[in-house]
Chains A and B, each alone.
Chain A
């Protein structure tokens, strides 16, 4: 039997308690049972917990202590951009005039909200160098799919129905091929070369008349800038395909280069990464898309426009791919991103990228003394090292990650990208101080020593966490996905 000392909220429940203050029943009572057929009236109450307000606070406070966020400590999770989440963003998002407004209100009564959205669209256009932006997609993966649907609509408008393939590098995020599939395409992989960049020869091999698009993250998931981007653009455009920019790594290049200037036709951004929308334990995010003028007609509708000093939603867009989400996007997250952009301005955002890149290169040069660095060139905002030297000692990358937990760190992303053996993907972000980086580097050196002289210590880690390694095999084999009494 499992030790269940730490209770579920259901196990704190006691009949007759409540944590809610009900509004007054101030109207005459109507007989509801006459109105409904008996079989439509619920017989058994849903077994929600019955707890007092204090018990709710104690329960969730205890849960929060069993969790780890950026405010708890260093979180160098590669490709996730776990930077500081500014507190003013949270305060602004909670203003009544932003938090308590309804999407179906008369636009004239929500001009402030629409002004913010319009300003954000304009800012994102400038930062990405794209012609037009829509804030509608809910998150990065939805932005990818939205972008691909626009590319599909473009090809179809040209009577080009045979472009069924989307090319993705072997180092790409899993969402890229998955989004391609959902958009009705087949994903084709292009290989990386020995520098960790897209292999142009292989790209020439896979590109063709059936190519709808190439999806690219630049810098890529190894943190390396795709220096041959113009050649790639030429190959793809030459074949009639479109170039898609996955904005996951925009934090590396703000003010230095723009997807629009690199020849990209469609861009999505992850506002919860680069622009400090908090990750929230897995969401909500926000994934706006930007497009070149050639693709603007296909943007999701409605599109927010400004006419005679009035902000309106334009639904009259016959070529639009339609709606990708009810309402106008994750407004609350967009507002946080806007607050951040207003805080930083052009000067601040360029420094963000500069410092993110310095931090990453600094860590990389320190860590390569003990860990294998597969690609030697300067990195951008993140880098990938390999634990294959430690693996020979019997210590796997997973073990190193677990040992980091003992020292109070969130580990890097592990076993991704898939083209590096025993990968550890480190992204420090610009909001971390040199002291924090040095502390982490020191710990990684210590773990490397432990792997040499006391490998069991690493193999059996963690020791200091509230739970030990979990039995994930049983969890998947005999799934228990809900509490039952």
Chain B
């Protein structure tokens, strides 16, 4: 069979084997001991031609209820925001997506500058001094932040709010096993972190306090008060995970004394794609610049005095420092960071607030409608674009019924919080129309009875 990605002809092969000085390609594999040689053919599906494969995979895709055709009220860390067409046109330029990490700055100025611009945008949004080139996602960025705080303070105890995304908490737990950290979870009351418990647990062994803002339930945590508590302890670091879109309206964590701010830029130009790849961001203070995990791009000049960009402070990284590196991370999410940069440029300085407000207004409209319909809304304090309701029925069942009506319902909180039976976390983004919200509330009301 012929393969369109393989240009070697029989003539090429013959000539090349002659140059190498072997009679057949088998000789090049003769150093693999016979006992470990794989005999026979791998059991894989037969190769598919391009037309056939497109058809087959399109059919597979069709089996999934997608966010374009369905009206979605599902968020919980991954959001359905409008993605301008320019985003995909930019990231489809193959000079970007077929390139490697920009190790050769002379032919990688495009990528390097794009990352430098991304770093700047993240600093602007978070109110922090330094941001890296990106991380795998918000969850692992948070776990890296926790490990950094332990290394920096030489302490083991970490206070983690239970109002943080449960899957991010699970990742923190996994990352904490390496350096043997003690993770203490702080309860929440009605969707907000229990500050009293936080204060009681906070002591001279605490490496960091970890909060989410807005938190997993959509609530705005009182970062100012938390920072006041932390300030009582010398060295304890303040780590905040933030939805960067919300920072278009909210005072950024940097102004509340955060030492590290992380999160995910999926909200800017990255489709949900079943949870990945998304794009973590990692921002911190100048003081911690040399402790940052991952790639950093810096501005410099070339021999002719031309402005340009390079990967910098590489002495932190695994390819130089090996086991002394600040992290084992090698890749970043460059292409997704690019997508987010394009989306952020598109939204712009004034647009970012407008977009945040649009999310908030629509979410409040949904809240009012839900209350009018007699559905108990649990969320009462200041919130961003997500709220919690309590239903009389199991959320999974409700969602199954909603799906039949063309609606993807909210997140079933019982999955991660066993005491929150019948509690649904509803996200309302700017692209949900009034009509969609009305229909959703009506259907939910009908099911709720």
Contact = CB atoms under 8 A, between A and B. Distances in A.
B89 A57 contact: yes
Given A46-B248, A279-B99, A25 B170 contact: no
Contacts of A411: 104
Contact of B273 (A101, A186, A482): A101
Interface string B127-146: 00111011011111000000
Contacts of B41: 255, 346-347, 350
A352 B111 CA distance: 29
Contact of B323 (A65, A138, A180, A258): A180
A104 B329 CA distance: 27
23 contacts: A6-B113, A13-B349, A18-B348, A22-B358, A23-B430, A36-B220, A67-B111, A69-B98, A72-B94, A102-B408, A103-B274, A111-B64, A174-B321, A257-B32, A258-B36, A282-B100, A283-B277, A322-B173, A348-B6, A349-B44, A358-B13, A377-B31, A481-B296
A134 interface: no
B302 A467 contact: yes
Contacts of B98: 69-72, 85, 278-279
A431 interface: yes
A392 interface: no
Interface string B345-360: 1111111111101101
Interface stretch (B190-198, B204-212, B305-313): B305-313
Contacts of B19: 362, 365-366
A145 B174 CA distance: 10
Contacts of B15: 434
Interface in A362-390: 362, 365-366, 377-378, 380
A257 B37 contact: yes
Given A60-B114, A84-B5, A467-B105, A345 B277 contact: no
A474 B300 contact: yes
A423 interface: no
Interface stretch (B155-163, B230-238, B334-342, B370-378): B334-342
A177 B342 CA distance: 36
A411 B22 CA distance: 28
Contacts of B394: none
Nearest to A262: B36
A434 B3 CA distance: 16
B295 interface: yes
B125 interface: yes
Interface in A93-145: 93-106, 108-113, 115-116, 119, 123, 126-127, 129, 138-142, 144-145
B313 A50 contact: no
Interface in B353-403: 353-355, 357-358, 360-362, 364-365, 368, 382, 396, 399-400, 403
B419 to A, nearest CB: 18
A175 B106 contact: no
Contacts of B54: 88, 91-92
Contacts of B180: 184
B405 to A, nearest CB: 13
Contact of A175 (B56, B318, B354): B318
Contacts of A43: 251
Contacts of B104: 68, 401, 405, 410-411
B277 A227 contact: no
B101 A45 contact: no
A309 interface: no
Given A2-B301, A64-B96, A283 B331 contact: yes
B229 interface: no
Interface string B56-85: 111111111111110010101110101010
A243 interface: no
Given A97-B66, A325-B137, 13 more contacts: A2-B306, A17-B348, A51-B345, A63-B111, A67-B110, A281-B108, A321-B174, A332-B273, A342-B57, A359-B8, A433-B12, A466-B109, A480-B299
B97 A278 contact: yes
Interface in A66-92: 66-72, 75, 77, 80, 82-86, 88, 90-92
A453 interface: no
B124 interface: yes
Given A4-B307, A56-B86, A97-B63, A256 B29 contact: yes
A67 B95 contact: yes
A430 interface: yes
B348 A19 contact: yes
A293 interface: no
Contact of A64 (B8, B110, B313, B341): B110
A48 interface: yes
Given A86-B5, A102-B72, A280-B335, A467 B66 contact: no
A469 B304 CA distance: 9
Nearest to B105: A470
Given A8-B113, A113-B64, A344-B47, A327 B275 contact: yes
Contact of B90 (A60, A230, A341, A470): A60
A208 to B, nearest CB: 18
A109 B336 CA distance: 26
A183 B139 CA distance: 17
A94 B25 contact: no
Nearest to A432: B7
Give the 4 A-B CB pairs with smallest separation, nearest first: A327-B275, A97-B61, A112-B63, A280-B335
B281 interface: no
Interface stretch (A26-34, A198-206, A444-452): A26-34
Nearest to A186: B323
B289 interface: yes
A174 B95 CA distance: 27
Given A30-B365, A46-B124, A67-B99, A378 B312 contact: no
B165 A20 contact: no
Given A69-B97, A69-B98, A332-B273, A45 B352 contact: yes
A381 B397 CA distance: 53
B50 interface: yes
A129 B353 CA distance: 53
B20 A362 contact: yes
A294 interface: no
A325 B140 contact: yes
A271 to B, nearest CB: 11
A20 B63 contact: no
A306 interface: no
A96 B20 contact: no
B292 to A, nearest CB: 9
Contacts of A469: 106, 302-303
Determine which residue in B25, B31, B319 has the highest number of CB atoms from chain A within 10 A of its CB, and name it: B31
A106 B351 CA distance: 34
Given A141-B329, A227-B32, A324-B171, A351 B3 contact: yes
A443 to B, nearest CB: 15
A318 interface: no
Interface string B142-186: 000001000000000000000001011011011101111000000
